[in-house]
Amino acid sequence: EEAKKIIIVEDPALPAAVNIKIRDSVQNRTKRIKVSGWVHRLRVQKQLVFITLRDGTGYLQCILAESLAKTYDALTLTVESTVTIYGVISPIPDGTHAPDGHELHADYFKVIGKAPGGDETITNIVAKDADPQTKYDNRHLVIRGEQASAILKVRAGVLRAFRKTYEDLGLLEVTPPCMVQTQVEGGSTLFEFNYYGEKAYLTQSSQLYLETCLPALGDVFCIQESFRAEKSLTRRHLSEYTHIEAELAFINFDDLLSHLEETICRTINNALSDPLIAGYIAELNPTFKAPARPFLRMTYADAINWLKERNVPNENGQPHEFGDDIAEAAERNMTDEIGLPIFLTRFPVEIKAFYMKKDPADLRVTESVDCLMPGVGEIVGGSMRMEGLEELMEGYKREGISPEPYYWFTDQRKYGTTPHGGYGLGLERFLAWMCDRFTVRDCSLYPRWTGRCTP
């Protein structure tokens, strides 16, 4: 009752407050500032209210003291309410803890929007131990959390790091279409839709379009969403994911592997050279170390032997034989035991896509590579591409693909063909590895998988 009567106004005798974001709080110590954000944490004591304020750029400890602590707004404050707080930021004594080692002593504050308390308190809606479905239903609230937002910040940092790598290596960024009429990675995972009465698909990969850019723009890359109607629910399959793809002309298979290793290692260095990003990675994955070079290279045939020797069964529960797909479980078995990035090379023609170049030294296999990472498995798939027209026509036939809609892709072999190759890297898988997440779902802003297209 008494609290309701205490109304505080801003003291007109104080200097005007400079509006800041929390990331700029260190350089704005000692002057009077105002800062707006969400109440991330809250501790109400008799004479003091401690707020950890969050504005997306950082966290700031704020203190409401004396009469401010006794106002109705202070006493009824809830987490996730929005506030603007005015005052001066000063360092805190050594041995005490607060973000950036300082705190804001408020001389005035305003509530912008009050969040519900009680049953509807955010921590009740998405409790730490809530079941995963509840958490994904409330993904819009979960991303406010420290861990979820840290992953999204690493994601932004890694995207920046990839772009810098490609810029430094001289690849040009392009943005191919997402609505297409050709498949790349097999008909079974195509999302089909009605395009003005014609059959069209959401793209599975921009590879074929990147290939057409080589004669026009030189080496290229793209960062684009890819779509896969995956039937299986696994912790590394999404229905929509961010696909980082590159294509290079006049290279051989060894050049492709070197470029891929260079791209991955440079990107990790670029990301870690940002202290904020390095800090988030250290929090999420304290034992993360940039991988040593060169990456282990292993042929598919050697991998099959490796699995056979260790009695790791294939998908049908039988011993592995040359020609088998290496399923997720078997792959994980390898990466977990070896514990290092692996370039798995030279997969059989039959289990790979129609466009892959055969190894001239062994026509049973392709010049193909998967990059496997511990904890996640395959994060990259790439290959050299067929250069010859005849060979490509056979490839279409083998896979039962009608060549007509691919006329523009076929034309690359007609109008000045070149040896060339490229790859696609799944950003969410890369992040799951870097941030040590159990599932790629937590590395996507709003993940989509079988049965989930919301929020």
Tell which residue, 250, 244, 241, has the closest CA to residue 174: 244
Q: Pull the structure tokens for residue 403.
A: 């060549």
Going by DSSP bridges, is the β-strand pair 102-113/59-65 parallel, antiparallel, or unpaired? parallel
Q: Name the minimum Å distance from CB 440 to ligand 4AD.
A: 6
Q: Which of 126, 334, 379, 432 contacts ligand 4AD by CB under 6 A? A: 379
Tell which residue, 162, 121, 126, has the closest CA to residue 146: 126
Query: Angle 146-169/275-284 helices, nearest 10 degrees?
Result: 130
Given strand 368-373, what is the order of strands in its sheet? 172-173, 220-227, 240-249, 420-426, 377-384, 368-373, 342-345, 296-299
Q: Name the minimum Å distance from CB 337 to ligand 4AD.
A: 20
Q: Which of 157, 176, 374, 424 contacts ligand 4AD by CB under 6 A? A: 424
Residue 382 sits in the site that holds ligand 4AD (CB under 6 A): yes
Number of chain residues interacting with ligand 4AD (CB under 6 A): 24
Q: Name the minimum Å distance from CB 438 to ligand 4AD.
A: 14
Residue 214 sits in the site that holds ligand 4AD (CB under 6 A): no
Measured from the CB atom, is 43 or 231 closer to ligand 4AD? Answer: 231
Q: Which of 190, 202, 434, 440 contacts ligand 4AD by CB under 6 A? A: 440
Measured from the CB atom, is 230 or 325 closer to ligand 4AD? Answer: 230
Q: Which of 37, 87, 395, 426 contacts ligand 4AD by CB under 6 A? A: 426
Residue 193: C-alpha distances to residues 178, 200, 439 (Å): 12, 5, 28
Q: Which of 158, 161, 238, 386 contacts ligand 4AD by CB under 6 A? A: 238
Q: Which residues contact 100 (CB under 8 A, 6 or more apart)?
A: 25, 26, 58, 60
Measured from the CB atom, is 157 or 426 closer to ligand 4AD? Answer: 426
Residue 428 sits in the site that holds ligand 4AD (CB under 6 A): yes
- The string of DSSP letters for 177-221 reads -SEES--SS-GGGPEEEEETTEEEEE-S-SHHHHHHHHHHHSSEE
8 Å CB contact between 384 and 345: no
* 229 vs 237: CA distance, rounded Å: 10
Measured from the CB atom, is 85 or 373 closer to ligand 4AD? Answer: 373
Residue 190 sits in the site that holds ligand 4AD (CB under 6 A): no
Tell which residue, 112, 125, 135, has the closest CA to residue 39: 112
Tell which residue, 367, 328, 375, 371, has the closest CA to residue 348: 367
Q: Name the minimum Å distance from CB 137 to ligand 4AD.
A: 21
* 286 vs 436: CA distance, rounded Å: 9
Residue 380 sits in the site that holds ligand 4AD (CB under 6 A): yes
Q: Is 161 exposed, middle or buried (0-12, 13-18, 19+ CB in 10 A)?
A: buried
Site for ligand 4AD in 120-179 (CB under 6 A): none
Measured from the CB atom, is 56 or 186 closer to ligand 4AD? Answer: 186
Q: In degrees rounded to 5, what are phi and psi of residue 55?
A: -130, 15
Site for ligand 4AD in 240-279 (CB under 6 A): 241, 243, 245
Measured from the CB atom, is 73 or 211 closer to ligand 4AD? Answer: 211
Q: Name the minimum Å distance from CB 308 to ligand 4AD.
A: 24
Q: Binding segment for ligand 4AD among 131-139, 234-242, 260-268, 270-278 (CB under 6 A)? A: 234-242
Element (H, E) at 161: helix 146-169
Measured from the CB atom, is 238 or 312 closer to ligand 4AD? Answer: 238
Measured from the CB atom, is 280 or 423 closer to ligand 4AD? Answer: 423
Measured from the CB atom, is 61 or 439 closer to ligand 4AD? Answer: 439
Residue 378 sits in the site that holds ligand 4AD (CB under 6 A): yes
8 Å CB contact between 100 and 92: no
* 288 vs 278: CA distance, rounded Å: 10
Q: Which of 100, 137, 173, 230 contacts ligand 4AD by CB under 6 A? A: 230
Residue 205 sits in the site that holds ligand 4AD (CB under 6 A): yes
Taking the C-alpha atoms of 181, 388, 426 and 213 in order, what is their torsion angle to the nearest 10 degrees?
Answer: -70
Residue 429 sits in the site that holds ligand 4AD (CB under 6 A): yes
Residue 83 sits in the site that holds ligand 4AD (CB under 6 A): no
Written as one letter, the residue type at 186 is G
Measured from the CB atom, is 111 or 154 closer to ligand 4AD? Answer: 154
Encoded one letter per residue, x for contact with ligand 4AD by CB under 6 A and - for no contact, window 336-375 reads ----------------------------------------
Residue found under tokens 């891929």: 260
Note the residues at the interface with ligand 4AD (CB under 6 A). Answer: 184-185, 205, 207, 228, 230, 237-238, 241, 243, 245, 378-382, 422-426, 428-429, 440
